[in-house]
Amino acid sequence: MDVKTFRDLHHDRAPGDPLILPGPWDAASARAFAGAGFPALATPSAGIAESLGYEDGATPADEMFAAVARIVRAVTDYGIPVSADLESGYGLPPRELVDRALAAGVVGLNIEDSDPTAPSGLADPHKHADRLAEIRTAAGDALFVNARVDTYVRGVPDLDETVRRARLYVEAGSDSAYPILAPADALPTLCATIPAPVNALALPDGPSPRELGRLGASRVTFGPGLLRRVMGVAGEIAKELR
């Protein structure tokens, strides 16, 4: 599947029928999701970090790109595309970031607007939009860019600010917006005011993916949630073995 087809999967979704993208953390989980018939996958940086023994946000860039490349390679025979969460880009210049993403074989990437050095934990939205524009220029049409908006993650639960940031990022060339951890009751407003597909995060105690679709989400991802469900099962097996 090429990038255009992956991009098209995000549009004209019927209510209650979002694009559901499971998040593999290694080659084995990628094959399991691909074998179940999903049309595409989206790696979670936190899930890969946990699988490699790192704290979220602490995975070295080389290890993240290597892990993503293994996942892509694992599903090559299935012919499905993989998008990768590349956090805030590891400080790489846009051209290098794009080149490394393409070398790993992905068709899309997430870039977040967190900035731990900023007082709010959030990057200046205009500077971040400029960076996204540079990524868009470097990638051309070769990558789907999903702009993650971290207002709710960083304790800034401001709907207007979330919309403002998302709109800036879409204007800069992002294909979709990902207001991660936005509450479900904010989704109708977000989806109505952001001029691009909106990615919602499915949580174990939250609305189902299809319910998120009915609220307006075009795309649903899971972060490290699927890995943690599997590890919960592994923990139960470990107890039985003891």
For residue 83, the cross-strand partners are: 42, 108
Residue 2 has pLDDT above 90, yes or no: no
Q: What is the DSSP letter of 215?
A: T
Residue type for position 60: P
Q: What strand order describes the sheet that includes 144-149?
A: 41-43, 82-85, 108-112, 144-149, 176-179
Find where tokens 């174990």 sit: 204
pLDDT given for residue 21 in this prediction? 98
In this structure, what token pair is assigned to residue 97? 């970031």
Phi, psi of 20 (to 5 degrees): -95, 120
Question: Please, which residues have CB within 8 angstroms of residue 238's CB and are 6 or more apart in sequence?
Answer: none
What confidence tens digit (pLDDT) does each residue in 4-46 have?
999 999 999 999 999 999 999 999 999 999 999 999 999 999 9
C-alpha closest to that of 139 among 94, 172, 178? 94
Burial class of residue 61 in the structure, from the number of CB atoms within 10 Å of its CB (0-12 exposed, 13-18 middle, 19+ buried)? middle
What confidence tens digit (pLDDT) does each residue in 134-155 have?
999 999 999 999 999 999 999 9
Residues composing the chain: 242
Question: Please, which residues have CB within 8 angstroms of residue 141's CB and are 6 or more apart in sequence?
Answer: 3, 4
Question: Please, which residues have CB within 8 angstroms of residue 163's CB and are 6 or more apart in sequence?
Answer: 189, 190, 193, 194
Residue 230 has pLDDT above 80, yes or no: yes
What confidence tens digit (pLDDT) does each residue in 213-223 have?
999 999 999 99
* 180-192: average pLDDT: 98
Determine if residue 52 is left, alpha or beta; phi over 0 gives left, psi from -120 to 50 gives alpha, anything else beta: alpha
- Distance from C-alpha of 111 to C-alpha of 178, rounded to nearest angstrom: 9
Compute the mean pLDDT over every residue in the chain, rounded to the nearest whole number. Answer: 97
What confidence tens digit (pLDDT) does each residue in 67-119 have?
999 999 999 999 999 999 999 999 999 999 999 999 999 999 999 999 999 99
